[in-house]
Amino acid sequence: MSITVDRKKLSFLERTYIPQIIGGLYITFRNMLKSKVTLSYPDQRPTLPPGYRGAPTLVKDGDGREKCVSCQLCEFICPSKAIRVTPGAIKADSKYAFIEKAPQAFEINMLRCIFCGMCQEVCPEKAIVLQNEFSLAGFSREEMVRDKAALYAAGGTMPDKIKKWSRVKSNEELERGEH
Amino acid sequence: MYSNNPILFAAADAAVPLWDGVLDVILMIVFSLIAIVVVMTFAGLSVVAERKVCAFMQGRYGPNRTAIPWIAAIPGVGTVLRSFGLMQLVADALKFLLKEDPLPNHVNKPWYLAAPAIALTPVLTVACLIPCGVIYADSGKIPMSVADVDLSLILALAIGSLGAYGAVIAGWSSNSKYPYFGGVRASAQMISYELTMGICALTVAIWVAPVTGKPFSLFAIADSQSGAMWLCITQPLTAFLFLVALFAETNRLPFDMAESETDLVSGFHTEYGSFKFGLFFVGEYGHVAVASALFATLFLGGWNPLPGLSWPADWGWVSSVLCVLTFLVKVAAMIFFFIWMRWSVPRFRYDQVMRLGWQCLVPLALANFVFYIILRAAM
Amino acid sequence: MEEKLVTVNIDGVDWKVPCGLNVIEACKFAGVEIPHFCYHEYLPVAGSCRLCLVSIGTPARDRATGELIKNDDGSQKIAWMPKPAIACGTKVSEGMHVVTKSELIDDCRKGVLEFLLLNHPLDCPICDKAGECRLQEYATAYGRGESRFIERKNVKPKRREIADGKIILDNERCILCSRCIRISRQLVGRDVFGFTKRGSKNEVAVYPDEPVDSNYILNVVDNCPVGALTEKAFRFKMRTWFLKMTRGISAESSAGVNTWIWSRENVIYRITPRENRQVNDVWMSDSGRYTFGKFQSAERLTTARIDCSESSAEYALTRATEILNLGSVAIVASGYQTLEELFMIRRLADDLKAQTYMVSHLRGSDDGMLVSIDKTPNLRGGFVAGILKEYPKADLAGLAAKVRDGSVKTVLCFHEDLLSLGFDAKDFKRANIIYCGSLDNTCAREAKVALPLPSEFEKSGLWINRQWRLQAFDKAVDSPAGVLNDFDVLCSFGRTASGEDFKTPTLQSVRRAMSAAIKILPENCEVPAEGAVLDASEFSGVDFPETNALHFTKNVQQ
């Protein structure tokens, strides 16, 4: 079904274009006198809104323990295949041996990352967080691949409300006897 | 032809007769070079102005970062030059000069190479005809123009319209469809609006003829507005039609059909790059500057500060300097108007351009012409 | 024997199913999934997880007369059991009615899963089973979705190495299904695992001070429905959802165990058994799981060599072809090669008028299960391809003697290490030795020309196991850079030998040609999922060393 749109009948003045052109000139001239909206970037810095998705980083908990347990869900979910995790075991003599698993290597290729935040959303340990860093540049492809150390350096600590891994070590602490 | 040039006169008086002709020629070359430098400077500044003005109109800053290190380091001056984007001009020019100069294999090479020069030369030539001020000498008013010819108005229109050949030749020799369309559009548009322009110029000429006796001299026309009403007040419709035709002639929005990025890539200069493109670019802005000067001369009273008012003759050289400054201010204002227009008005469709030219402007201009003939006859 | 069929009504639809099936299998037959942990098709029923609860009813009969009771509308009256029953422990009977989808059953499943998850640590992020864990799958599909448990969870031993360090036991994750106990009883032949303690402290433990020397203990890892038993070698190596599964056949022995090869980005991470009722059921030996390691190590031959120095593959191939054309050639084929390759070698030998040899690799003894004494997967392929007429010897002393007396000038050897088979270093000077293989052994280092070939994980092909069963396997990973293609090499040799100009054939075209030339092969060598048993009466005179084992009886054609 076709829809006929009625055209407004233009008056003579309108058909000369002149009032419209003058109107346009007025608008642009008024705009010229307004203050600028451009941010003079390196001199002025933008205020980032909460929830801003900058570079993904790895964070530690309040005790300085690395939160990541290398479950590789971020690697799985990453639509641009930017993340590469090499899982590894925590040494048996470590204070955190009961957590068992930690990344041996963790690389995020910032040339591939599209800052979608899916890794943060999928992370069961809240270990990978997109923080405020947005100005990423480098002189080689290699330096744009961030390794574990760089990711933790960029991430810092981010304590959790729920202390998932601070748990009782034996049934005696629970005052539960053996049957 | 040049004999009423005051400086030449003085030089000729002082020089040994044998050197008369030679000095004449050398001085003419020097003046021409000055005219070229002035036009080119205006073209360059127009480019910067275009970028700054459009930025301001869009809420941006425009170019304000480019800096030549040791100039930018000068306190005050450096900052101003930098924030006004003036050093961007140098950067742009260097870019055009230093870029690789491609010569496509499929073009008609001699004409392809000639086209940018053909586009630029008429602009510079017309610049020599424009009187930018007056010198009050004992022998009377002496125009400050390189070539004060009696038929300078006709000459300016004639040479100025040669610029269209640049676009046409570029479009044709590029041997590629979009430049070709651009060239065809440019030629058709030029012919259509040239007519209106010519009729408007005639209207002005017949109006000033009884006053000056030299109806086609730009200096005479400008001088007729000294201490009198400006022609834009006595002939508002003529001025308006002439202005519209100027927009079309200079290929500026809303009439830039020859470039028309949306449908023709980049029009007649699609196949051009680096320095050759730079020539087209400078030619376009030079054209704007010269057209502004022409309009200022014809309708805005030339070097006179206000309608009915002129710089007093007894101030001598001070008055001359003020004349030149006044003229330059008017030209600058006109350039601003050209730019302002570009960033306010969308482009016409090609058929609209043609209809406007032939069905509105030409009949209007003719009617206007007849009206002023009758009016002049009645006076 | 004709199977007796009974009619069972599953969720309102009548199905004819074989008599003797239990309800889980009958439902599987009908395409209805019943979740279960402890039930395993190849193990005795335990009925301990209670997840497979369904409503079951049988036709009502008059107790006195034994006659069927009808409803008022004339339909058969069903006597429903008062409570849901476990589907794994109930055999189907004529007229049985089963309801698997009802509010009651949903509640049962929710309740069972909630109890199973009470003390479960929910450490899926660090658990290797995640992604192939039944508890995960069922909790998602049938569970409540959230926990109501607010107390502290029980603590149980974790991270315990058992079975000589092959397995890691995590008791917190265990759901006490007793599959491991039953598997070890069946495969190891004695109890390895057992339950200790009671109530919520109940846990699986191994018998202390009793070493587990079984080669089949890792099957408990495959069949553990949760992450309580995980394989140490695969521990924290790669999540299962990244791995691509490819149909494989174990090259460990002539048993021809069906496998899944799990790989990611051309790296193999593990091998697990693939179900084949005629060969290996769902089991696999532990030793067969790590046959890929040597092909991902420095032992691998990846560059061609001429006179012990590296060369381009093209040049080495040309050089080898020139040498072969000098005549007096002997070809040593390998039991690791596919039937297609052996067939092409047979043709090449005919073109070159070459003698053909193979070597038997007999090591250890048959374990009566899935590892036979013959460590090559395709020795019978040599018979079928026509390379062998009698059972080969363990060395090549005969060929070495011919090299020494000068009647053989060139030896083309595939995969075998001649230096360990009766050749000495001087024989490498007497004759031109061309080695084509995937491993960089001493033979490859000494040979005149060495050409790198793909391993069995890098190609598709057919093998014939001890049952004369033709089985197909697929290419799991790409060869490392520099490795040539088997068919390219064989065709390059054959091209000049036969004087014909032909293109490298595809796998399909070789199989077509092979089935045309060898009568006992199925048409186009198309093999069903369980493999195709060949008619081996032709070779009944040959004495094969394999002894009776799972699904294999010596000298009996299956």
Report pLDDT digits (tens) over B237-256. Answer: 899 999 999 988 888 878 88
| Count of structural domains within chain B | 1
pLDDT band at B78 (very low <50, low <70, confident <90, very high): confident
The stretch C435-442 carries a mean pLDDT of: 92
Q: Give residue ranges of C with CB < 8 Å to any A CB.
A: 124-126, 130, 152, 154-155, 158-159, 197-199, 201, 235-239, 241-242
Range from B41-45, B373-377, C207-211, C498-502 carrying the lowest mean pLDDT:
C498-502
Say if B366 falls within a structural domain: yes
Task: Give the minimum alpha-carbon distance from B106 to chain A in angstroms, rounded to a whole number.
Answer: 39
Calpha distance C41→C32 (Å, rounded): 16
The stretch B276-293 carries a mean pLDDT of: 87
Q: Write the DSSP symbol of residue C480.
A: P
The stretch B248-274 carries a mean pLDDT of: 80
Residues C156, C83 share a domain: no
Residues C345, C286 share a domain: no
Q: Which residues pair with A88 in a beta bridge?
A: A102
Say if B278 falls within a structural domain: yes
Pairwise CB contact (< 8 Å): C125 & A71 = yes
Say if B169 falls within a structural domain: yes
Residue A133's Cβ-count burial label (10 Å; 0-12, 13-18, 19+) is middle
Boundary of a domain, candidates C265, C294, C323: C294
Task: Give the minimum alpha-carbon distance from B321 to chain A in angstroms, rounded to a whole number.
Answer: 31
Residues C311, C251 share a domain: no
CA dihedral B204, B207, B211, B216 (to 10 degrees): 40
Residue C166 confidence (pLDDT) above 80: yes
CATH number, domain of C290, equals 3.30.70.20
Q: Give residue ranges of A with CB < 8 Å to any B CB.
A: 21, 24-25, 27-29, 31-32, 34-38, 40
The residue type at B178: Y
Task: Give the minimum alpha-carbon distance from A171 to chain C in angstroms, rounded to a whole number.
Answer: 6
Contact: chain A with chain B (3+ CB pairs below 8 Å): yes
Residue B209 domain boundaries: 103-378
The pLDDT of residue B3 is 46
Q: What is the pLDDT of residues C475-528, one digit of tens each?
A: 999 999 989 999 989 888 877 655 555 677 889 999 999 999 999 999 989 999
Residues C494, C392 share a domain: yes
**Which residues 53-92 of B are in CB contact (within 8 Å) with A?**
53, 56-61
Residues C340, C278 share a domain: no
The pLDDT of residue C17 is 93
Identity of the residue in C158, C199, C242 whose CB atom sits nearest the CB atom of A76 = C242
Say if C79 falls within a structural domain: yes
CATH number, domain of C23, equals 3.10.20.740
Residue A172 confidence (pLDDT) above 80: no
Residue C81 confidence (pLDDT) above 80: yes
Domains and CATH numbers, chain A: 56-155 (3.30.70.3270)
Residues C310, C290 share a domain: no
Residues C480, C334 share a domain: yes
Pairwise CB contact (< 8 Å): C198 & A92 = no
Boundary of a domain, candidates C294, C317, C337: C294
Q: Which residue has the higher pLDDT, C430 or B16?
A: C430
Q: Which residues pair with C270 in a beta bridge?
A: C262
Residue C96 confidence (pLDDT) above 60: yes
Task: Give the minimum alpha-carbon distance from C144 to chain A in angstroms, rounded to a whole number.
Answer: 20
pLDDT band at C102 (very low <50, low <70, confident <90, very high): very high
Q: What is the pTM of this model?
A: 0.76
Say if C68 falls within a structural domain: yes
Instruction: Tell me the chain B residues in contact with residue A31 when contact means C-beta distances shorter than 8 Å.
Output: 56-59
The pLDDT of residue C496 is 63
Task: Give the minimum alpha-carbon distance from A6 to chain C in angstroms, rounded to a whole number.
Answer: 57
**Which residues 66-125 of A are in CB contact (within 8 Å) with C?**
69-73, 75-76, 87-89, 92, 97-101, 124-125
Nearest chain A residue to C130 by CA distance is: A71
The DSSP-derived string for A50-113 is TT---SEEE-B-TTS-B------HHHHH-TT--EEEEEEEPPTTSTTGGG-EEEEEEEEETTT-
The Cβ of residue C162 has, within 10 Å, a number of other Cβ atoms equal to: 19
Pairwise CB contact (< 8 Å): A37 & B59 = yes
The stretch A90-115 carries a mean pLDDT of: 91
Element (DSSP H or E) covering residue C498: helix C486-498
Residues C233, C167 share a domain: yes
Say if B245 falls within a structural domain: yes
B343 touches A at CB < 8 Å = yes
Say if B171 falls within a structural domain: yes
Residues C451, C343 share a domain: yes
Element (DSSP H or E) covering residue B155: helix B152-160
Residue of A90, A91, A101 to mutate when probing chain C, most C C-beta within 10 A? A101
Pairwise CB contact (< 8 Å): A28 & B343 = yes
Residues C464, C377 share a domain: yes
Say if C84 falls within a structural domain: yes
Instruction: Tell me the chain A residues in contact with residue B57 when contact means C-beta distances shorter than 8 Å.
Output: 28-29, 31-32
Pairwise CB contact (< 8 Å): A36 & B53 = no
Say if B32 falls within a structural domain: no
Contacts (Cβ under 8 Å, ≥6 apart) of C512? C524, C525
Residue C418 domain boundaries: 304-539
The stretch C180-198 carries a mean pLDDT of: 91
Identity of the residue in A75, A101, A168 whose CB atom sits nearest the CB atom of C236 = A101
Instruction: Tell me the chain C residues in contact with residue A170 when contact means C-beta distances shorter than 8 Å.
Output: 155
Contact: chain C with chain B (3+ CB pairs below 8 Å): no
Instruction: Tell me the chain A residues in contact with residue C125 when contact means C-beta distances shorter than 8 Å.
Output: 69, 71, 73, 101, 124-125
Task: Give the minimum alpha-carbon distance from A39 to chain B in angstroms, rounded to a whole number.
Answer: 9
Identity of the residue in C155, C159, C236 whose CB atom sits nearest the CB atom of A88 = C236
Neighbours of chain A (3+ CB pairs under 8 A): B, C
The pLDDT of residue B14 is 52
Task: Give the minimum alpha-carbon distance from C236 to chain A in angstroms, rounded to a whole number.
Answer: 6
**Cis omega (within 30 of 0) for bond into B254:** yes
Range from B206-210, B358-362, B363-367, C374-378 carrying the lowest mean pLDDT:
B206-210
Element (DSSP H or E) covering residue B140: strand B140-143
Calpha distance B91→B69 (Å, rounded): 12
Residues C156, C65 share a domain: no
Residues C534, C502 share a domain: yes
Pairwise CB contact (< 8 Å): C242 & A100 = no
Q: Write the DSSP symbol of residue A36.
A: P
Calpha distance C250→C260 (Å, rounded): 9
Say if C124 falls within a structural domain: no
Identity of the residue in A25, A34, A37 whose CB atom sits nearest the CB atom of B344 = A25
Residue of B51, B52, B53, B57 to mutate when probing chain A, most A C-beta within 10 A? B57
Neighbours of chain C (3+ CB pairs under 8 A): A
Question: Contact A74/A83 with Cβ under 8 angstroms?
Answer: yes
Pairwise CB contact (< 8 Å): A28 & B59 = no
Pairwise CB contact (< 8 Å): A31 & B57 = yes
The DSSP-derived string for C139-197 is HHHHS-SS----SPPP----SEEETTTTEEE-GGG-----HHHHHHHHHTSS--EEEES
Calpha distance C37→C43 (Å, rounded): 12
CATH number, domain of C478, equals 3.40.50.740
Say if C546 falls within a structural domain: no
Pairwise CB contact (< 8 Å): A24 & B60 = no
A:B CB pairs within 8 Å: 35
Nearest chain C residue to A72 by CA distance is: C239
Q: What is the pLDDT of residues B302-331, one digit of tens each?
A: 888 888 777 777 777 788 888 888 888 999
Say if B367 falls within a structural domain: yes
Say if C62 falls within a structural domain: yes
Task: Give the minimum alpha-carbon distance from B39 to chain A in angstroms, rounded to a whole number.
Answer: 26
Task: Give the minimum alpha-carbon distance from C154 to chain A in angstroms, rounded to a whole number.
Answer: 6
Instruction: Tell me the chain C residues in contact with residue A71 when contact means C-beta distances shorter than 8 Å.
Output: 124-126, 130, 239
Distance of CA B223 to the CA centre of its chain: 19
pLDDT band at B207 (very low <50, low <70, confident <90, very high): confident
Pairwise CB contact (< 8 Å): B56 & A31 = yes
Question: Contact A51/A57 with Cβ under 8 angstroms?
Answer: no
Residue of C124, C154, C155, C197 to mutate when probing chain A, most A C-beta within 10 A? C155
| Count of structural domains within chain C | 3
Say if B280 falls within a structural domain: yes
pLDDT band at A18 (very low <50, low <70, confident <90, very high): confident
The pLDDT of residue B42 is 85
This complex has an ipTM of 0.82
The pLDDT of residue B212 is 75
Say if C136 falls within a structural domain: no
The Cβ of residue B122 has, within 10 Å, a number of other Cβ atoms equal to: 23
Q: What is the pLDDT of residues A38-72, one digit of tens each?
A: 888 888 888 999 989 999 999 998 888 889 999 99
The pLDDT of residue C359 is 94
Instruction: Tell me the chain B residues in contact with residue A28 when contact means C-beta distances shorter than 8 Å.
Output: 57, 340, 343-344
Identity of the residue in A69, A100, A168 whose CB atom sits nearest the CB atom of C155 = A168
Element (DSSP H or E) covering residue C452: strand C449-452
The stretch B269-273 carries a mean pLDDT of: 83
